[in-house]
Amino acid sequence: MLSEEEIIRVLRAVENVKHKAILMVIYSAGLRISECINLKIKDIDSSRMQIRVEQAKGKKDRYTILSEKTLLLLRTYFLAYKPKVYLFEGQTGGVYSRTSIQSILKVAVLKTGIQKQVTVHTLRHSFATLPMSIGVLENGTNLRYIQSLLGHSSSKTTEVYTHITTKGMEQLKSPMDLLDI
C-alpha cells in the first residue's frame, strides 16, 4: 500500500498527460489494469460521476466512482489525444498495452525514490485502504459499496481491507479528490 504522500509523489512524477490520466483513473476508481485498458470513451459518465466497468473479472459489469480531479485531467487528455473507441488507445489505436502501464508506474516510482515494491495493483489496493482522511472504507463507506466498486464477488475478499461502516454510495468521494495535486 502507498501512503497519501507517496501517491501524490508518484502522480506528480508523471509529466505526460496520457500517462498521468491512466494512473489517476486506476487509482481514483480502484481499477484493475485489465479494466483500465478495456475502458471505452462511452464508459465515462461525467453527469453521474461514474465509470462503467464492462465485463470485469467474473464477466460482471459494475460502476465505480469518477473523481472530479480525474475528470478534469481526462478532458485535457481527450482534447490532446482524441481517442476514438477506447479511453486509452495504443499508438496505432486499439487497446493500450498492459506492459506500458506497468512501465509508466515503474518509472514514476523510480523518480520518487520510493523504496517499496509498487505495482499497478498497489494503486487499486491503496484506493480502498489509505488512512482516515483519504481511504474510501475508512471514510465510513459501507463494505457492500466497496465490494461493488472493486468488483469483488465475495464480501470476504473486500473484508481484508477494513471493518464494515455505514455511509451511503451517494456520499462516496474518490480518494483522488482529497489529494493535493
Give the model confidence (pLDDT) of 40-96 as tens digits.
Answer: 999 999 999 999 998 766 677 888 889 999 999 999 999 999 999 999 999 988 999
Contact at 8 Å (CB) between 88 and 96? yes
Question: What helix, strand, coil percent values describe the chain, rounded to 5?
Answer: 50, 10, 40
Question: What pTM was estimated for this model as a whole?
Answer: 0.76
The predicted model gives 115-128 an average pLDDT of: 88
* Residue in 20, 124, 145, 156 annotated catalytic: 124
CATH architecture, domain defined by 4-178: Orthogonal Bundle (1.10)
Active site annotation includes 124: yes
* Residue in 12, 40, 52, 57 annotated catalytic: 57
CB neighbour list of residue 57: distance below 8 Å, 6 or more residues apart: 32, 34, 35, 151
Active site annotation includes 32: yes
The predicted model gives 23-47 an average pLDDT of: 94
Whether residue 122 is predicted with pLDDT greater than 70 in this model: the reply is yes
Between CA 39 and CA 84, with CA 52 as vertex, the angle to 5 degrees is 35
* Residue in 9, 19, 20, 152 annotated catalytic: 152
Active site annotation includes 75: no
In the chain, where are the structural domains located?
A: 4-178
Active site annotation includes 152: yes
pLDDT at 179: 80
Contact at 8 Å (CB) between 107 and 152? no
pLDDT at 3: 85
Active site annotation includes 62: no
Nearest-angstrom CA–CA distance, 12 and 41: 25
Active site annotation includes 82: no
Q: How confident is residue 148, by pLDDT bands cut at 50, 70 and 90?
A: low
CB neighbour list of residue 172: distance below 8 Å, 6 or more residues apart: 65, 136, 141, 145, 149
Element holding 53 (H helix, E strand): strand 50-53
* Residue in 27, 32, 77, 86 annotated catalytic: 32
Whether residue 108 is predicted with pLDDT greater than 50 in this model: the reply is yes
Q: How confident is residue 163, by pLDDT bands cut at 50, 70 and 90?
A: very low
pLDDT at 135: 45
- Measured on CA atoms in the order 131, 135, 139, 144, is the torsion positive or negative? negative
Residue 46's identity, in one-letter code, is S
* Residue in 42, 84, 121, 144 annotated catalytic: 121
